[in-house]
Amino acid sequence: MHQDEPLVEARIARLVRDRVDPAVHRRSAPVMIEAWEVPGEPVPFDTAVRETYEPFTVGSSWGGRPWGTTWFRVTGTVPSDFGTAPGTTAELFVDLGFTKRHPGFQAEGLAFRPDGSTIKAVEPRNNAVPLAVGPGEPFELYVEAGANPDIGGDSFQGATPLGSRSTAGDRPIYRLRALEVVERDDTVWELQQDLWVLRGLMAELPTDGTRGADILRALERAADALDPDDVPGTAADARAALAPALAVPASAAAHRAVAVGHAHIDSAWLWPVRETKRKCARTFSNVLDLMDRDPDFTFACSSAQQYAWIRDEYPEIFGRIKQRVAEGRWIPVGGMWVESDTNLPGGEALARQFVAGKRFFLEEFGVDTPEAWLPDSFGYSGALPQIVRAAGSKWFVTQKPSWNETNVIPHTSFHWEGIDGSRVLTHLPPADTYNSDVSPADLHRGERNNKERGTANTSMLLYGFGDGGGGPTREMVGAAHRQHDLDGSPRVTLGTPAQVFEQIEQDLPTPGVWSGEMYLEFHRGTYTSQIRTKQGNRRSEHLLREAELWAATAAVRLGAEYPYAELEQAWHTVLLQQFHDILPGSSIAWVYENAEAEYARVAEVLEGLIGTATTALAAGGTAGADATGAAAGAPGTVVRFNAAPVAAGDATALGGSLGVAPRPVPPVRSGDGFVFDTGVVTATIDAAGHVVSLVDRASGRDAVAPGAAAAEYTVFRDTPNQWEAWDIDRAYQRNGTVLTASSVAVNGDTLVVERSFGSSTLTTRYSAVEGEPELTVETEVDWHEHQKLLKLAFPIDLLAPTASSEIQFGHIDRPTHQNTSWDHARFETSAHRWVHVAEPGFGVAVANDSTYGHDITRETRADGGTTTLVRESLLRGPTFPDPDADQGHHVFRTVLRVGASVLDAADSGYRLNLPVRSVEGSAPVAPLVTVSSPQVFVEAVKLAEDRSGDVVVRLYEGLGGRASDVAVDFGFDDASVTVVDLLERPVGASWDAGTPVSLTLRPFELVTVRVRRA
């Protein structure tokens, strides 16, 4: 037989393009269109329906300007002969001016009934609206259309003004292309789906295989049966020709894909938060419409924040969601407030993501989500498994590691082990997407990529338009049904995440283990981009800690009212900003305009709460000995409040002490340079403004590498290959400019160094405090550079095989060498308040108040010694998606400390980020809680979430070793003490009133205790 496969395939392709696709709609009829352009921000239906509408014609521009909104009122009558023939349906067809580029990244709409209930969304690849009337009957509906610009374009690169209302311009960007009643030929549509699945399957099969050849000939027979001049009349014949090929069952050994409807909706990204609310309404309406039409369809949806928006702004949709949750087809997943970043949020904040999210799901739906759900976050902290387990969950889903540039995680289903030894069963959906269209290509990719194949042959397929929302379509569900049991394809079952994990638990009783962080070998710039938002997050986290601590102390000591509502709202605001495209710095300008305003509002509220509580405590707090042993009631006019879990001078941890502030040490000129001598360390700054020596007085050892300069600033080129705000490429290291000083001068107790680069200026202020082993480096920058990376370097004279970097509730040790491809790819890393490098007996900490990105390497010098280089990434200047990212004024504070252990580093990190507050008053305030071990840090002191008045204390082991027989004492009478989970439910030991509380913590263990007050 002559081989003519390419010719047959070309014939089929043209037949589908030119005949089948156009024949889905048999005919159309006009409708009456009226429009009202919203003058400002979007308004609810109840407002829009009362406005005056003007006649509108297809082809006219709408929206007014980018980000504008137009409401369309659509009225008409279904023609009496539409939908009367068997296998036809009348529906509304809407084209708002869509491009073929991306679904969910451009214009979108939501159709409403006249009573204000939603029907479904109108989107680029899902633009049909069902009509609930028959032939000859009138209808009326409203479409809210959002003129959202397509920020990403074709390449997701290049500066654009469209990311902010203030720069997007006033020219309309969309024209209404179609709004009409159409008669859909259901048989042609079904043929279209048959052809799509079989053509896709054929493309995945061997070109010389029998099954592929059978499909090709079935397609050829269908083409013969289909009259191109009468597609509607012969579509059934073509389907009959394809039926045998679609009826061949799958092999009993076929891979099983559990298809879970999904819509990964970014809580902000290339659109602001206000638009995300509408995206949720559109997507959820789509899902509910599909559920009404297909009883097998299931949908998994995360992010309590998004549900809360719908509850508050679209109660009708929320009510329908609750009904579907109750019947088990709509599955709340993840248990977090938002799908947050996991590298940057602090420990308590990451815990609160689960506290807030799981509380919402329990209270609103009665659902305790068993899985954490983060398909798209930019790397996964080694602390996360313990936090997941502490929240009462046991499974974890992500997909993002498939984006790694260099290495591939060697598992699909495995135990992920955290830094404390906690494990969660983890699944990486092997189709490598959370936006599948249920194509044969996705299904076969999932089968090929399943690394446990032969042992665990079940995987999860997340399908539905995501990122910008939209969710599953009827075409995707149709494809799933066709591939449920189809030879040559994995078996597809519409199901739930739990079904996947339960099957994996059966198939893999002893799964492989991945230990520590899942570092994403990509998007390394997200540790640094949009530094104002990162600083706002860091400051807000610590203000929340202070507000809760002092409010709880005032409630216990003075009977003051605890500000539950204000604290919860502040937490919800901060948790939202930790979403994985907000805090990492990868969103449009509008998002950061909002974020900075929100952080300012949160700071104002929390400073007020802190001021109220500390003022009351300082005036009448319960007396007690302070950290220096001063007697209760000692004379003084200032109480020094220290919210850190470590003492700060004479300010006791977690309490208020009488005393004086530490005395600054002024710089003294020495030769061509200057010296700070704290009595513990001696720091020398040369005439160029660099730290050339930091000598530990006790050992005589110099921390700064010989011949090197610490506190050195370098500006590097920063032009990554793609994903500009997201990425830092290794090539940056080859092109850097070291900044030189223009002046060095003493100003009071500080040494001030001035530098400049391009259009930017940089001021460094050195300072030190008597009795401390630290030098403080304050960096003030007026930054006006684009596509540049500013780093601050500290070359340390020691051989550190690893660097310890603080993460949530502990730290992680990363190699400073590059022995393996995994080490080589980890050239930029994240850390929280400190990093520490050491060799036995001597170490150095670099602590910060708002920096996350670091690179830490080592090299051998000509003298045979080793220099370990610690560099902080201070600033970038990406131009996409925000062309003005990082521009303007910034201040950073860094502490360089000689300290042998990571506990020294933690001490500096806490004190730098939680500076002591001096409040007028004379009453010292004893801490509500003290612990006997320096390894154990108290991370939160608050009142219980259930508003019972119980005191909740969260603590963790911070050294990385066992802490035995740790006494935990409370500065008030207790009725009982119980070990609880993050949701404050009993999970462990308990103690009766007056019984000493003693804990033994494994390395990095997180423990929460709940204290019922007597």
User: Each residue of 807-865: pLDDT tens digit?
Assistant: 999 999 999 999 999 999 999 999 999 999 999 999 999 999 999 999 999 999 999 99
How many other CB atoms are there within 10 angstroms of residue 667's CB atom? Answer: 26
Say whether pLDDT at 154 is over 90.
Answer: no
Q: How far is CA 645 from CA 420, 587, 610, 938, in A?
A: 21, 35, 17, 6
The sheet carrying 951-957 orders its strands as 936-943, 951-957, 1006-1013, 974-980, 986-992
Q: pLDDT value at position 100? A: 86
State the DSSP H helix or E strand holding residue 670, giving kind and residue range, or none if neither: strand 668-670
Q: Which of 185, 376, 677, 718 is catalytic?
A: 376
Mean pLDDT score of the chain: 96
Q: Is 485 a catalytic residue?
A: no
Say whether pLDDT at 1012 is over 70.
Answer: yes
Rounded CA gap, 683 and 660, in Å? 24
Among candidate residues 662, 663, 614, 649, the one with its CA nearest the CA of residue 919: 614
- Residue pair 603/543 in contact (Cβ under 8 Å)? The answer is yes
Say whether pLDDT at 1005 is over 70.
Answer: yes
Whole-number CA gyration radius for the chain? 31
Q: What mean pLDDT comes out for the span 72-95?
A: 96
Percent of the chain residues past pLDDT 90, beyond the cut: 96
Q: pLDDT value at position 636? A: 54
How many other CB atoms are there within 10 angstroms of residue 227's CB atom? Answer: 14
Q: How confident is the model at residue 1 (pLDDT cuts 50, 70, 90)?
A: low
Span 623-663, pLDDT tens digits: 333 333 333 334 458 999 999 999 999 999 999 999 888 99
Backbone φ, ψ for residue 535 (5° rounding): -65, -40
Q: What mean pLDDT comes out for the span 897-916?
A: 96
Q: What mean pLDDT comes out for the span 910-929?
A: 97
Say whether pLDDT at 2 is over 80.
Answer: no
β-strands 668-670, 664-665: how paired?
A: unpaired
Q: What mean pLDDT comes out for the span 553-573?
A: 98
Q: What mean pLDDT comes out for the span 511-534?
A: 98
Q: pLDDT value at position 632? A: 36
Q: What mean pLDDT comes out for the span 888-909?
A: 97
Q: What mean pLDDT comes out for the span 974-981?
A: 98
Rounded CA gap, 336 and 182, in Å? 42
Backbone φ, ψ for residue 656 (5° rounding): -120, 130
Say whether pLDDT at 378 is over 50.
Answer: yes
Rounded CA gap, 387 and 353, in Å? 10
Beta strand segments in 401-490, E = 413-417, 423-427, 458-463
Q: What mean pLDDT comes out for the span 989-1013?
A: 97
- Residue pair 864/909 in contact (Cβ under 8 Å)? The answer is no
Q: Running DSSP on this structure, what letter comes out for residue 465?
A: B
For every residue of 558-582, DSSP letters joined together read H-PPP-HHHHHHHHHHHHHHTBTTT
Beta strand segments in 204-318, E = 256-261, 299-301
Span 312-361, pLDDT tens digits: 999 999 999 999 999 999 999 999 999 999 999 999 999 999 999 999 99
- Lowest mean pLDDT of 92-106, 500-514, 556-570, 951-965, name the range: 92-106
Q: pLDDT value at position 633? A: 38
Report the predicted TM-score, pTM, of the whole model to 2 decimal places: 0.97
Span 730-745, pLDDT tens digits: 999 999 999 999 999 9
Say whether pLDDT at 393 is over 90.
Answer: yes
Q: How confident is the model at residue 900 (pLDDT cuts 50, 70, 90)?
A: confident
Rounded CA gap, 825 and 830, in Å? 14
How many other CB atoms are there within 10 angstroms of residue 520's CB atom? Answer: 22
Q: What mean pLDDT comes out for the span 903-913?
A: 98
Q: How confident is the model at residue 103 (pLDDT cuts 50, 70, 90)?
A: confident
